Structure 1
């Protein structure tokens, strides 16, 4: 492999996660210890990287030369949380790297709260690593923070707390306005869920997605993240995995899930339909579709991590292993062939330079 030495850090980290997931099957106490070790380790790995991630220079410029100079000006911006955080850290006199640490903290706080609702939090965490953790809080820190808030919103969705769900989404929007699309889930927090309403929600969401794709923020994202045909193909594969996950849930897992886990069935089913619907965004932009797909990966990881607890006859072991195999394949291909990965992630460095 041409990048073998440069990617060893990432492969080593991922191998350690897979080993932890395997060892965690031995017992609940060990799984609990491994979970906390992995959670803290991932936070340090992500939050205290140095000159790693495609957005490193862009956010460094924002930090050193912010477009706002007062908190009132920050509140007037579309993403007030991001700019307010920059002003706060600058007032505290801390270096730029702490912006990455704080946003990583927001991401992992939300991920942790949602993970603790899972039957196997450790497996959930491991399944989030190859795509979500590497691509979001390590390279797109504003959306990474927003995904943390989205995980908190998912937890409120499970608890049927409508006001709390809406509040978390709105707070997430102060870091990345794309999360506002998920206000479309709000009617289902306490309302009845059925296929007809899901279809209506998906149709109503599409105009909003199109309008958001025309905004200045989407334009910046497109110029920043579109790179090569290979990268566009990567987005297609990531969205395809989401779509297949949604289909697999609806066709194979939904009936048993509804009987055994009624509390979070509605979220899983809503997420599955959204995973299928997001494929339509490929007709608009692979970049925009990819960006919204990341919000659904925590639900995808929830589905994957729940497979061992569902009735799949003699196929359970195969379908338990399949998500790990598919994500590992995507991870290896991406790290070896992607120009984006080569430019943004290697070599990995830790600390403050």
Structure 2
């Protein structure tokens, strides 16, 4: 448990200091540390032993066959790990690196980057990146896509989402986001943008989702799978979503950026409603993972928005305390936290 607390403590101590930027050298050190923490973990995470099935299936597999895999990006990493050496540790390290790059660049772009990292660590880093490797990579790439979309880089956004889909296809739900940047009166350039988006969405759906649509319908909806703790995880996204929707003007965002995060917030509220109306909470829970960046975006802006008249310094301390509470509650009371305890790593002697 100590490695989790020490890692969180690094982000919390910097966050309490109200640091507004992360120096380049510190960013590199954090990236290396997170990559090793995630990538070289040993028997940590609920899906740990299932990773070896991917490695076994990839051993001796013809290289061309990798691209016939359901998620070829993840299949490619396993092919290299199985046939070139490194096994599951190679796969997890590359996954950890991609996730860490996305997380750090996204947090660096927030007004309080250390606070954003502190909020990310208890669940996004500890649970998702160490427990759901494929979706961890997809979320890391999603955060790069969100930065591109905020800067009006539609093609770059589509590229990051397409790459993310080679690790977990459910990320394609985020293709709805660029529609939020279209204004009421469509100009010619916006019509071109809309056509490009519709074409890309249809192409990705046809190539990636449609061939296995029955698998998703039967595996998630018809089977009515239920996820333990789904309510808490969805609530962690719904709370900042409601705070944002009720106080959008206080966040002082440019119109396009405000519309992007308004749509994400509405999706978070819809997820909360979906838990009570959709047969499978697992389906809602898995899709809600892509809403976690909302926690970091809104959380890092709440202190300066002075919500409820609370001073920025007090909000900062409250959010860091809340982050600590989430970490402790999860480690001690989550149904599957035993798979994360004790933390072991190839580089640690114990």
Deviation, structure 1 residue 152: 1.2
Contiguous gaps of at least 5 residues in structure 2: 186-204
**Which whole-Å CA distance do the structure 1 matches of 2:95 and 2:335 have between them?**
25
| Cα 1:131–1:40 shift into 2, 3 Å | same
User: What's the CA shift string for 1:85-134, capped at 9, x where partnerless?
Assistant: 21133332233211100011111111122223212222211211111111
Say if 2:8 is the partner of 1:14.
yes
Say if 2:236 is the partner of 1:241.
yes
Say if 2:118 is the partner of 1:118.
no
Say if 2:274 is the partner of 1:275.
no
2:344 paired residue among 324, 328, 349: 349
Paired residues of 1:213 and 1:288 also in contact (CA < 8 A): no
1:49 alignment partner, SS class: coil
**Which whole-Å CA distance do the structure 2 matches of 1:134 and 1:212 have between them?**
33
Say if 2:332 is the partner of 1:336.
yes
| Cα 1:220–1:73 shift into 2, 3 Å | farther
2:183 paired residue among 170, 183, 192: 192
**Which whole-Å CA distance do the structure 2 matches of 1:243 and 1:129 have between them?**
18
Deviation, structure 1 residue 279: 1.3
Paired residues of 1:74 and 1:83 also in contact (CA < 8 A): yes
Say if 2:89 is the partner of 1:97.
yes
Aligned equivalent of 2:215: 216
RMSD, aligned α-carbons: 3.0
Greater alpha carbon shift after TM alignment, 85-94 vs 156-165: 85-94
Aligned equivalent of 1:292: 287
Contiguous gaps of at least 5 residues in structure 1: 1-6, 195-207
Say if 2:152 is the partner of 1:160.
yes
Deviation, structure 1 residue 27: 6.9
Deviation, structure 1 residue 48: 1.3
Say if 2:132 is the partner of 1:136.
no
1:339 alignment partner, SS class: coil
TM-score, normalised to structure 2, is: 0.81
User: What's the CA shift string for 1:299-349, capped at 9, x where partnerless?
Assistant: 22111011222244731344434433333323222211223001x101111
1:245 alignment partner, SS class: helix
Paired residues of 1:52 and 1:346 also in contact (CA < 8 A): yes
| Cα 1:129–1:26 shift into 2, 3 Å | closer
